[in-house]
Amino acid sequence: MHVHSGEKPHVCDTCGKAFIRPRYLAAHKLTHTGETSYICTDCGKSFYTPAKLKEHERTHSGENPYKCDLCEKTFASSGALTRHKRIHTGEKPYRCGLCEKSFALSGALIQHKRIHTGEKPYKCGLCGECFARLGALTIHKRIHTGEKPYSCDKCERSCRTITALNEHMRTHTGEKPFVCHVCGISLTRQSSLNVHMRRHTGEKPYGCDQCEKRYAHRGDLKIHRRIHTGEKPFSCAQCGRSFPRSTELNIHRQVHTGEKSSSSDLCGMPQVTHKRWKRTRDKPLTCDTCGKRFAQSRTLKSHQRTHIQSERTEASGETTKAFE
């Protein structure tokens, strides 16, 4: 049952590392004593069991004696073959005790359990960010090093992950394997399809913490927040004026170039419509009483008090007249 539950009851009293079986613990303990009786004659690497040495030696000889009878793929160890066969059988013997998810590999179960525990044992030594998986940390480190080991053979583009490279390759092949079942549009990435589906569902998962506005895209929320923060990261090199959006900067540049148009070159709207859209976007909060628009909730609340005070004054005047 320990194998299927992912439980590791056999703990090393020297370092605390845990194992499923006692023989694994016994082999591990040799790492502390320095005993390495089984040495590879090809590369000098040491092993703590003869079986592990034999498996390793096959990396030099290229021997893969264990063959899958379903797809003819071969493996260096019986354990590797057993794990591979689960691809064909769909067997997932490692079940999470906290939810209903099951896994083909014990390592996958261990990683999954960190979703429940919140454990993130892999820490970046450069920025301190922690991760639940070693692979995630390895990919993250490439942000700091700038390493992009996966190169496109069609252009000069390099990517940090094999997944990113596969997605990029579709720009050359034209492949769009992710199809919307509602409208039939095809897209190159699963993430793009997920975002596209929000058009049909109306889902807007990104909410502003300053007002009630919600957005389907994280980027739109980021831009919207600049209304509240006053951030204007796009500056004109000619006059120094700043804008919250790059599109607004491009429109502004026409002042310097002398370009004029009856419609916006960037969005195609007539100028009147474009200005109305800009006013609505910049001031998303509306007073229910008079329709006046505001950028910030505190300004709207302050304005609404003028209506309340006005109503009280009128009510007070009517009461006074009643007693005259």
User: Could you state, in chain order, the average pLDDT of each consecutive group of 10 residues for the chain (324 residues)?
Assistant: 61 80 76 71 78 84 89 88 90 90 89 90 92 90 92 92 91 91 89 89 91 89 90 90 85 79 47 52 66 70 72 50 44
The position carrying tokens 């007693």 is 323
Contact 300, 287 (CB under 8 A): yes
Contact 40, 51 (CB under 8 A): no
pLDDT at 228: 92
164 token code pair: 């990113």
Q: Give me the residues paired with residue 242 across strands.
A: 235
SS3 95: strand
Distance CA 272, CA 289 (A): 25
Contact 15, 33 (CB under 8 A): no
- State whether the Cα torsion 280-286-291-294 is positive or negative: negative
pLDDT at 34: 65
Contact 220, 206 (CB under 8 A): yes
Identity at 73, one-letter amino acid code: K
Q: How many CB atoms lie within 10 A of CB 60?
A: 11
pLDDT at 284: 62
pTM above 0.75, yes or no: no
Alpha helices in the chain (DSSP H): 2-5, 22-33, 50-61, 78-89, 106-117, 134-145, 162-173, 190-201, 218-229, 246-257, 271-282, 297-323
pLDDT at 262: 46
Give, in order, the Cα–Cα distances in Å from 4 to each of 25, 45, 111. Answer: 18, 32, 14
Identity at 254, one-letter amino acid code: Q
pLDDT at 129: 92
Which of 225, 163, 222 shows the shortest CA–CA distance to 191?
163
Contact 306, 319 (CB under 8 A): no
pLDDT at 77: 85
3-state SS track over 219-235: HHHHHHHHHHHCCCCEE
List, in order of start, the domains of the chain with CATH numbers: 2-118 (3.30.160.60), 152-201 (3.30.160.60), 206-281 (3.30.160.60)
SS3 201: helix
